[in-house]
Amino acid sequence: ELPALRLERDEHHRHKDVFEHSLTVLEQAIELESRLPRSPDLVNRLAALLHDIGKPATRKFEAGGKVSFHHHDVVGAKLVRARLAALRFSSDEIKAVSDLVELHLRFHGYGDGQWRDSAVRRYVRDAGPQLERLHILTRADSTTRNTAKAARLRAAYDNLERRIAELAEEEELNAMRPDLDGSQIMEILQVPPGPVVGQAYKYLLNLRIEEGPLGPDRARTALLAWWADQA
């Protein structure tokens, strides 16, 4: 898969091909490893090297001579899982690297900070234990020669990290869970353990992400309203 990246033009025109871009991202990710508990960090380096591995399979020639690689993040994550499994990496390493590859474009929708708090919570939730590595990969993936653009990207990501820190302090994002646990859900709905408890838990978690902490009373009211709609 890596040699195939030499055949793909870097659409940002920073490098002669995607392989060279990937090596630059790897170098920059290594420079940022001081943010992690230990260095060298294998997951961080594999994610940086392989983050664009889905581009050859998703290349499409557009009007005006442009080239696109839509969904190369999702395709790349699948390729990473297959390749690392074949190379006998551990299941934890495979999941961590593939999750990072799949999420490496998520920040591009942030713009100038237009995300609602709910979108920031989802970013944290989806990154899970890989959040710090995702910070590194996203920053390292900026290889533009346009200094003004690079400065805007850094400022935008600084802003996102600041918002994450603020929400984490206010809401304990690292341990995000619904306001009611499984036992409380079963008691309120008068149901035994089963799929409905998981569905209710997921509903409350999504509500928690959208609206922030509800408290047990509001969560109970919302749960009962959801349950009534299931009838």
Q: Which two tokens stand for residue 71?
A: 């969904």
Helix (H/G/I), strand (E/B), else coil: 202: helix
Q: Report pLDDT for 60.
A: 85
94 and 17 in a common domain: yes
Helix (H/G/I), strand (E/B), else coil: 131: helix
Beta carbons within 8 Å of 5's beta carbon, 6+ residues apart: 17, 18, 19, 22, 52, 53, 55, 56
213 and 124 in a common domain: no
Residues in the chain: 231
Q: Report pLDDT for 15.
A: 42
200 and 162 in a common domain: no
**Digits of tens for pLDDT over the chain (231 positions)?**
776 666 555 554 444 578 888 999 999 999 999 999 999 999 999 999 999 999 988 988 888 878 888 899 999 999 999 999 999 999 999 999 999 999 999 998 887 778 888 899 889 989 999 999 999 999 999 988 889 988 999 999 999 999 999 888 776 666 678 889 999 999 999 999 888 999 999 899 888 888 888 889 999 999 999 999 987
Question: What is the rounded distance in angstroms from the CA atom of residue 175 to the CA atom of residue 158?
Answer: 22
Is the pTM value of this prediction over 0.85? no
Domain final position from 150, 174, 198: 174
Domain final position from 151, 174, 197: 174
Domain that holds residue 109: 3-174
Cβ–Cβ under 8 Å, residues 73 and 104:
yes
Q: Report pLDDT for 19.
A: 87
184 and 170 in a common domain: no
- What is the number of domains present in the chain? 2
Q: Report pLDDT for 168.
A: 83
Q: Report pLDDT for 214.
A: 85
Question: What is the rounded distance in angstroms from the CA atom of residue 115 to the CA atom of residue 109?
Answer: 8
